[in-house]
A and B are shown apart, each in its own frame.
Chain A
Amino acid sequence: MLDAFASAAGYMLGNPMCFVLIVFSVAWGIMFGSIPGLTGIVGVALLIPFTFAFDPIEGMLLLGGVYVGSTFGGSISAILFNTPGSPEAACTSLDGYPMAKRGEAGKALGIALAASAVGGIFGTLVLMFAAPPLARLALEFGPAEYFALAVLGITAIASIGGGSLVKGLIAGLLGLAVATVGLDPLTGIARFNFGNPMLLTGVSFIGAIIGIFALAEVIQRFADGPTEANAMTEVSTKLPSLAEFLATKATLLRSSVIGTIIGALPGVGATTAAFISYSEAFRWSKHPELFGKGSPEGIAAPESGNNSAVGGSMIPLLALGIPGSATTAVMIGGLTIHGIVPGPMLMQNNSDLVYSVFIGMMLANILMLVFGLRAARVFALVLRAPYPLVGPAIVVLCMTGVFALNNNVFDVVIMLTFGAVGFFLKSFGLPVASFIIGLVLGPIAEVSLRQGLILADYDLMTLVSRPIAGTLLALSALSLAYGLWGQFRARNATPKPVTETDAKAQTDPA
């Protein structure tokens, strides 16, 4: 193994172009990630023709760097404008934006960046040293296990909004309901598309999240008028101190482990990893009441989760030749065009390539941290611009971005519709987090449950009695019961509403 590392490092040192490409690709990735509608997948797909000009190793370094950069990039716009630049950053909006809104943009960006780097490096280390065994572990996950995993995430919908149980359930179930729109994934029958062929794909997730987060926020701010909260005069570009960051270390570790495992599962990727990390961070947090109001843990969890999923999704790609995510599927396409056969023999037959990718991804994460720390303070200054100027610009960017995704006006219609949905969710005090969790995890739960039932000849017990699935389902039931008990206890105690000022006071180390 050391020989392979030395040989790959030797190759890279002999071809300085490798390093130029890594720097370029990280910057390109961050840019693609942060612009709504331009996702990491688009960033990687656009660069595939360019890789023809290079050796496969340089080509893969280029694609790997974009993947790393784009997964972090989405959080920049998510934090500053409540506009997730890419689907995997949707979860980061939930706490990143409230923190930025109260004037701590620098801190929010800093936490997101450092958590991204920690998660990314963790995922890459696991990829380097444990890819084959972890790939085998991922194979143990059949439909029953996917279902149990999705259920574990979904159980959070009742409590995660911090408000009432009923409101959380309403929002979560609405999310699950919206997720059923489109072609039935197993029988191919149209559901709830009202005769519109474009709805057969289901509700475009990117359109929906940009509507719910970005557009709804703009509507909200303009509906509020020029209040004091809209005049953001004091924007601190101060980055978080090391102590502030380390306060989230348990969350970072947990999310990185979750993200790496979920990343390694084919078919689910960084977005799922971010949401499950978030709901677990909420479940285990000492201050769950701060979630949704700018909790540092609420930023650290999704960012370390989605970035560790990058390394995770490279595991089945390099160990078995199966893509762990949509972006790695595009990479496989790139590899085969170079005449490389992805499969279990890749690590032996192309060890220079595999180990160069390891080294390249590690460098990409470190570079991201270095660039990002300098850039975060500058980015944070954007918030000093008056909102009446920023708001319309956000709307225009979102509309062009969502349109550009598929050159499809219907996606823009979805975005506008969900802008209204998001606005009304907020007006009725329904938690957006629960809605989105239902939307993200609903399809996974539905498809895998039905696949699992077919495989078990419709015997539910066979499904539940599988060790991994059973354990995850038992955990879900326990946590649900614990959450209900907590709500019951809280109702009997004197209620003490938490305001955003409280949240700030509690997160600042005295």
Chain B
Amino acid sequence: MTIMNFKALGGATMALALSITTAIAGDYPDRTVEIIHQYGPGGGTDRFIRAIGEPMQEATGQSVVPISIKGGGGVPAYVSFLQRPANGYTLVSLSPDDVINHALGRIDLSSVYPLVRIQYDQGMLLTSKDSPLKSLDDILAAAKENPGGLKVGVTGSAGFDDALVGQFNAEAGIELETVPFGAAEMVSNTLGGHIDLMYEEYGPTRGLIESGDLVPLVLFSDERLPELPEVPTAKENGYDVTLGRWRGFGIRPDTDPEIIAKLIELFQAAYEDPGYKEVETQSALQYRSEFLGPDEFKAFMDSETEAFSKIMKDLGY
């Protein structure tokens, strides 16, 4: 190596060192932004992060990637997030599961700053086309006749799905028993007739609903879905269950405020991006979703915490 090369190398090292020390909020983001979530790769949240990350990448030139740390009821994902530095390059996905974990004392949500809430989904109870259950009335009649006899497949244990089915049980005065499955096995066990019903959102089940293999019987939302005009809501039948799975992001509270402001601006723009809107429409997510900034999201999380604390307590957790 010649002296010249050494000088060039030294110069490059200096430049690199300088660029590291001068990398302040103004340049943010100058590398990949990672979003930790507790669900599997390829699942709804993983896809959501990719979809919302696409327009952000176009705007900044830096990628936004989902990091799946699944299992453990979401606690390992949250703990991993807390272990990362508060430099704005690690975000965490927030959902009702995190609120439930907080309510059950598994994690402490006061160590996260709720940044934005973007999606608000609605779920339903579905059954196989071969099932004797053909309507909400059938479910209620069968459940009254044989309490605990109807089994509902859910994903996760002591999580959002359990809370929702529990609330529906309380409202309707019935006893549906939940059985936790992985998302794929839940569908195959429903189609195979091993379980009576399953709880899932529209996006992942759309293909099987369109082919007629899965039949939605009741929707948990304020209004019927235009995609499924025949499917009644629980609410219109007098059972006030409208909980839905929402998706947002949080960041460490001690992050540079300029970075936080920049992120909110980027998320807002991505939320309005036509490409992202198309993804939203595919899964019928456009009806209840609205963009919430930190203050509204914080207020929303507080009300959710209160609601889920009560539900989980009533369920005996």
Contact = CB atoms under 8 A, between A and B. Distances in A.
Interface of A: 41, 45, 48-49, 52, 138-143, 182-188, 197-202, 265-267, 316, 320-324, 326, 329-334, 336-337, 339, 341-346, 406-408, 451, 454-455, 457
Given A324-B184, A406-B69, A186 B41 contact: no
A334 to B, nearest CB: 8
Nearest 4 Cβ contacts at the A-B interface: A343-B207, A200-B72, A142-B194, A188-B158
Nearest to B100: A188
B213 A320 contact: yes
Contacts of B67: 406-407
A343 B184 CA distance: 12
Contacts of B41: 41, 45, 326, 329-330, 333
B43 A197 contact: no
Contact of B191 (A265, A320, A336): A320
Nearest to B101: A188
A139 B188 contact: yes
Contacts of A49: 50, 63
A197 B279 contact: no
B46 interface: yes
B208 A183 contact: no
Interface residues of B, number: 52
B123 interface: no
B75 interface: yes
Nearest to B53: A49
Given A330-B42, A344-B207, A200 B73 contact: yes
B278 A197 contact: no
B76 A343 contact: no
Contact of A143 (B40, B183, B194): B194
Given A267-B184, A316-B188, A337 B72 contact: no
B273 to A, nearest CB: 14
B211 A343 contact: yes
Given A188-B158, A198-B76, 16 more contacts: A45-B42, A49-B50, A52-B54, A183-B157, A201-B69, A201-B72, A266-B184, A267-B181, A326-B41, A329-B41, A329-B183, A329-B184, A333-B46, A337-B51, A345-B211, A455-B179
Given A139-B192, A140-B192, A182-B72, A333 B208 contact: no
Contact of B159 (A188, A199, A200): A188
B282 A339 contact: yes
B188 A266 contact: yes
Given A182-B71, A197-B76, A202-B71, A322 B206 contact: no
A57 B46 CA distance: 22
13 contacts: A45-B41, A182-B71, A186-B180, A188-B158, A197-B72, A198-B72, A200-B73, A267-B185, A321-B208, A333-B47, A337-B50, A406-B69, A406-B80
B79 interface: yes
Contacts of B279: 337
Interface in B172-223: 177, 179-185, 187-189, 191-192, 194-195, 203, 206-208, 210-211, 213
Given A187-B157, A200-B72, A342-B207, A139 B179 contact: no
A147 to B, nearest CB: 12
A347 to B, nearest CB: 10
Nearest to B184: A266
Contacts of B50: 48-49, 333, 337
B151 interface: yes
A454 B184 contact: no
A449 to B, nearest CB: 12
A141 B192 contact: yes
A139 B191 contact: yes
A322 B187 contact: yes
B42 A333 contact: yes
Contacts of B282: 336, 339, 341
A138 B181 CA distance: 16
A336 B41 CA distance: 13
Contacts of A331: 42
A344 B208 contact: yes
B134 interface: no
B144 interface: no
B72 A322 contact: no
Given A202-B71, A323-B184, A337-B50, A451 B179 contact: yes
Contacts of B149: 457
Contacts of A451: 179-181
A339 B211 contact: no
B298 interface: no
A175 to B, nearest CB: 19
A11 to B, nearest CB: 22
Interface string B48-68: 001100100000000100010
Contacts of A138: 188
A327 to B, nearest CB: 9
Interface string B124-164: 00000000000000000000000011010000111100000
Given A267-B182, A331-B42, A341-B206, A183 B72 contact: yes
Nearest to A200: B72
A197 B75 contact: yes
B188 A322 contact: yes
A329 B42 contact: yes
A388 B250 CA distance: 48
Interface string B63-92: 100010111110110011000000000000
A323 to B, nearest CB: 5
Interface string B12-56: 000000000000000000000000000011110011001100100
A321 B43 contact: no
A329 B187 CA distance: 13
B208 A323 contact: no
Contacts of A455: 151, 179, 194-195
A52 B54 CA distance: 10
Given A344-B208, A455-B179, A266 B42 contact: no
Contact of B210 (A186, A266, A334, A341): A341
A139 B191 CA distance: 7
Contacts of A407: 67, 80
B187 A266 contact: yes
Contacts of B71: 182-183, 200-202
Contacts of A197: 72, 75-76, 79
A343 B206 contact: yes
Contacts of A185: 157, 180
